[in-house]
Amino acid sequence: MIIIPAIDIKDGKCVRLAQGDFNRVTTYGDNPVEMAVAWMQKGAELIHVVDLDGSVAGLPRNANIVLDIAGNVDVPVQIGGGIRDIKTIEFYLNHGVSSVILGTTALQNEDIVQSACSAFPGRIIIGIDALKGRVAVRGWTETTEKRAIDLARHYENYGIKAIVYTDIERDGMSTGVNIEATREMAMSVNVPVIASGGVATIADIEKLLAVKDCDIYGVITGRALYTGAIDLEEAIQKTKTG
């Protein structure tokens, strides 16, 4: 399992939201590129970037910053937020970004997902943001009746790279990872699952590492890194020894 630092971009800055609420924003840095470089220097093997403005607008709003991040780090970068058409997918993947994350599009436009997976096998990630097990879309501003696990199963044989599973209720709250929901998701599909939402302390990393009967590929952490509640280098060391 790898530790994946999160860089959420809003108005050009590095921020974190509480439970996906755009009215509950904490700014942690004015330069997302410098933040990404810092995480890389501390040993990050992958950087998770979200264009929060784009997720609401439905098209990229911070693409230049995303490409700057990809061009300034020597590790893969995955991007989500506002990616709703093939043109945007091609733009990112042809300009240094390793993988794109499709969330709203995965629920609303299967044809785009199918085309993207055919054109870029192994570079498409399905982002499933869930509130009480139901899928949320459009930057978490809308909750649907679709079960998260059903959506994951629908796409597991499309040639996707992974599923990023985010528990919105815990995201940005430092209340601990929803281990059972994450495990249930990982047990339900045959593709790697990346856990996200609620990582509070190194104990959460240890709990995920203790899950041995399914494939949890990585865990995304944001607020806990920015507040110092988790030391990235210590967390990475845990994954190497635990």
Query: According to the model, what pLDDT value does residue 173 have?
Result: 59
Contacts of residue 206, Cβ cutoff 8 Å, sequence gap at least 6: 238, 242
Query: According to the model, what pLDDT value does residue 169 have?
Result: 72
* Residue 232 to residue 102: CA distance in whole angstroms: 27
Work out the pLDDT band at 142, boundaries 50, 70, 90. Answer: confident
Is the confidence at residue 64, as pLDDT, over 90?
yes
Residue with tokens 């929901």: 181
* Residue 242 to residue 149: CA distance in whole angstroms: 28
Give the pTM.
Answer: 0.93
Instruction: Give the tens place of pLDDT for each residue, 149-190.
Output: 999 999 999 999 999 998 887 655 566 888 999 999 999 999
For helices 232-241 and 202-209, the axis angle rounded to 10 degrees is 20
Residues classed as catalytic? 8, 129
Query: According to the model, what pLDDT value does residue 236 have?
Result: 98
CATH code at 35? 3.20.20.70
Is the confidence at residue 136, as pLDDT, over 90?
no
Query: According to the model, what pLDDT value does residue 215 have?
Result: 81
Rounding to the nearest 10 degrees, give the CA dihedral for residues 222, 97, 44, 101: 40
119-141 mean pLDDT: 87
Is the confidence at residue 22, as pLDDT, over 90?
no
Query: According to the model, what pLDDT value does residue 61 have?
Result: 97
Domain total for the chain?
A: 1
Choose among 233, 229, 167: nearest CA to 198.
Answer: 167
Residue with tokens 């399905």: 126
Work out the pLDDT band at 139, boundaries 50, 70, 90. Answer: low
Query: According to the model, what pLDDT value does residue 242 have?
Result: 58
Average pLDDT along the chain = 93
Query: According to the model, what pLDDT value does residue 132 have?
Result: 86
Its domain, for residue 116, covers 2-241
Is the confidence at residue 76, as pLDDT, over 90?
yes
Burial 181-219 (b: 16+ CB within 10 A, else e): bbbbbbebbebbbbbbbbbbebebbebbeebeeeebbbb
Q: What percent of the chain has pLDDT over 70?
A: 95
* Residue 218 to residue 206: CA distance in whole angstroms: 12
Query: According to the model, what pLDDT value does residue 18 have?
Result: 79
**Which amino acid makes up residue 125?**
I
Query: According to the model, what pLDDT value does residue 174 have?
Result: 61
Instruction: Give the tens place of pLDDT for each residue, 195-232.
Output: 998 899 999 999 999 998 998 999 999 999 999 999 99
Residue 82 vs residues 59, 79, 152, 201, 217: alpha-carbon distances, Å: 4, 10, 20, 30, 24
Work out the pLDDT band at 99, boundaries 50, 70, 90. Answer: very high
Query: According to the model, what pLDDT value does residue 7 have?
Result: 97
98-115 mean pLDDT: 95
